[in-house]
Each structure stands twice: as structure tokens, then as C-alpha cells.
Amino acid sequence: MVGIILVSHGPYAEALYESLKMIYGEQDKIETINFKIGESIDDLRKKIDLAKKRLQTEEVLIFVDIIGGSPYNVSSLEINDKVNVITGFNMPMILEILSRRNEKLSVVSSIAKNAGKNGIVDVHEKLYERLNKFCD
């Protein structure tokens, strides 16, 4: 199973996981890390190392909130054949992979990336498309 670590500036990672539990229930092998004001890069690195150890999985997918921030910079140093990092995490991407974590890390990463993109919808535009199809 691919372990998941959600890392964010502030409480976003933990809040998103709490929301996921409302839909999917408690999940195994998911860790959240909130990078707080006043914490150092070393503090964050230690938190990520501890989270990886607690997961006890062969492969780990680390989700970070934004590219270029401290969570991204520290997590990116972890990338290897068994660890990947994806930026810009959102609820659709995490929901989509929860039932697919027994697949290879590369497959789970691809599913997450596509689900994240597909989860962004301009509702007005979507309704307009449907209306046009209905009128044709």
C-alpha cells in the first residue's frame, strides 16, 4: 500500500484530512503535517522523517500545498524510486486515490494528478455546455 503524507503551511493538511474522513471514514497509512509559524526547515524535515517511519509502507506519496514553499522544498529532497511528491493537493485527488493505493506509486501519482485537475470545474461553464447540448 502506498502511504500518504499531507504537508501544508498551517492547518490545511489536517483540515483536509478531517473533511476526507467525513466522506470516506478513518484511513490507514495517512499522516498530516502542519508546518507552523516559527518552525524551522529542520523541524519540518524531522516531522516528515517521523511520518514516513510511522507509515511503515514501502512506497510513500507526499502531497504538499504549493510548489516552491518550504513543504515542497523539504519534501522534494525525499524523492526516489519509493517516494514521490505532488503539489497543489485538493480533496478530489485524495478521494480518488484512497481505493487505489495498492497499485504502484507511479500509477497512484498519475491518478492523483489527473483527479486533481478534473476536480476543478467552472460550474457556470459546465451548466452552459449542458444547456447547449440539450437545445441542439
- 9 a catalytic residue: yes
Tens of pLDDT along 56-83?
999 999 999 999 999 999 999 999 999 9
Q: What is the pLDDT of residue 127?
A: 86
Compute the C-alpha angle 127/131/136, nearest 5°: 150
Query: With helix as H, strand as E and coil as C, how does the chain read?
Result: CEEEEEEEECCHHHHHHHHHHHHHCCCCCEEEEEECCCCCHHHHHHHHHHHHHHHCCCEEEEEECCCCCHHHHHHHCCCECCEEEEECCCHHHHHHHHCCCCCCHHHHHHHHHHHHHHCCCCHHHHHHHHHHHHHC
Q: What is the pLDDT of residue 106?
A: 97
Compute the C-alpha angle 70/103/108, nearest 5°: 35
Supply the range of the domain harboring residue 131: 2-135
CATH number of the domain at 48, please. Answer: 3.40.50.510
Q: Which one of 1, 9, 69, 78 is the catalytic residue?
A: 9
Q: What is the pLDDT of residue 136?
A: 64
